[in-house]
Amino acid sequence: MNYHSPSSFEEASAIAAGASGTTRFLAGGTDVLVQLRADIVTPDDLIDIKHIPGVKEISRTEDGGWRIGVAVAGAEMTECADLCADWPGVVEGMDLIGSTQVQGRATLVGNLCNGSPAADSVPGMIAAGCTVTVTGPEGSREVAVEDIPTGPGRTVLAKGELITGVTIPARGEHGGDAYLRFIPRTEMDIAVVGCAVNLRLDGDTITEARVSLGAVAPKALLVEEAANAIIGTTLDDAALDALAAAASAACNPIDDKRGTIEFRTHVAGVLAKRAAKIAYARAKGESA
């Protein structure tokens, strides 16, 4: 195994483009190193991107959004008060991953690129409308988060391509987001179902919404029908029921040791309702 520590993304991309065999980018290492130790993936080339300047920074974009570096750990996001105030759903999705120790290492981009349909940070990013910058031999492009994963353990990234940063849009007025996951325990578990809701209000009425589900399909889903079920409503009971039905209808899960098809499909609706209520309360400026 060859270990590389490039000083720029272009260099990282060039190493990956020139490598034969299995390549992994290393940031927090909370998936890559675990998979290495467990004989799941033994890379031929391990490209450590932690030492590229700026990768550990959280910064504001010109339009009031956020830029999260690829090696920013979950704990750093949780400790950024302004980010938490703007995007509590995005932050809480990241914060649910792993233990306190893992939070000191794990990253948003790592969670996304690991390609797990159950990744906790991904529905929150999708609901928020986040994009990532993909850098490769052909240059850089912006890609919506929902377009990155293509199936379990797989992403759209081509050989030599890597993600070089996450952009979270400006929060704007009267918006709120939330992420909930279902696990049998209270901590240290993998989502059986995950759901993020992001919405904006005009008075009491929802004018914009994005709903994303995790762990109920081969990849995290952006569910337009679920968003449409609450846009134009005040999140009354009928809207909530329609939301739940749309969320459940979008599910295409598997039966496995973590949950059944039936259970996941039902609970997706339950979580969609609960997450929507929290996002709605946050949008109204109420504590939730």
Partner 1 sequence: MALDGQKTAYKYIGTTPNRPDGLDKVTGRARYGADISVPGMLHGAVVRSPHAHAKIVKIDATKALAMEGVKAVITRADFPEGLEGEDWDLQENCMAGEKALYDGHAVAAVAATTPLLARDAAKLIEVTYEILPHVTDVDEAMKDGAPVIREGAADFSVPEGMHPNVVRYFDSGRGDLDKGFAEADLIIERSFTTEAAHQGYIEPHACLGQMGADGRGELWVCTQGHWFMRRMSTAVLGIETTNIRVTPSEIGGGFGGKTTIFIEPLSLALSRKAGGKPVKMVMSRNEVLRATGPTASASMDVKMGMTKDGRITAAHGTFRMQGGAFAGAPVDVTTMLAFANYDIEHVHHIGYDVITNRPRQAAYRAPGAPMAAFATESVIDELCRELGLDPIDTRLKNAAKEGTRATFGPKYGPIGFVETLEAAKAHPNYSEPLGPNQGRGVASGYWMNWGGETSASVAISEDGSVTVSVGTPDIGGSRASMALMAAEAFGIPYENVRVNISDTGALGVNEPTHGSRATYASGLATIRAAEECIGKMCKRAADKWGIDAEAVVWEDGCAKPSGPNAGEFPPMTIAEIAGEMGGTGGPISGHYEDSPAGFSGSFGTHVVDVEVDPDTGRTTILRYLVVQDAGKAIHPAYVEGQFQGGAAQGIGWALNEEYVYGEDGRLQNPVFLDYRVPVASDLPMIDTVIVEVPNPGHPYGVRGVGETGITPPLPAVANAVRDATGKRICKLPLRPSRVLAAIQGKEV
Gap between the Cα atoms of 176 and 276, Å rounded: 9
Beta carbon nearer to partner 1, 123 or 269: 269
In whole angstroms, how close is the CB of 102 to partner 1 at the nearest point? Answer: 12
Two tokens, residue 278? 């929290």
Q: How far is the CB of 75 from partner 1 (least distance, A)?
A: 18
Q: How far is the CB of 208 from partner 1 (least distance, A)?
A: 27
- Name which of 89 and 259 has its Cβ closer to partner 1: 259
Q: What's the distance, CA 134 to chain centroid?
A: 16
Between 185 and 237, CB nearer to partner 1: 185
Closest approach, Cβ 175 to partner 1, in A, equals: 27
Judged by beta carbon, residue 63 or residue 187, the one nearer partner 1 is 187
- Interface residues with partner 1 (CB under 8 A) are 38-39, 182, 184-190, 192, 256-260, 262-263, 266-267, 270
Pairing of strands 45-48, 2-4: parallel
Between residues 202 and 262, which has the closer beta carbon with respect to partner 1?
A: 262
Q: How far is the CB of 101 from partner 1 (least distance, A)?
A: 14
Nearest to 52 by CA among 75, 32, 69: 69
Integer angstrom CA distances of residue 174 from 24, 274, 281: 40, 19, 10
Helix (H, G, I), strand (E, B) or coil at 92: helix
**Token pair 């009031």 in the structure block, residue:** 64
CA distances from 267 to 30, 108, 249, 261 (A): 28, 25, 11, 10
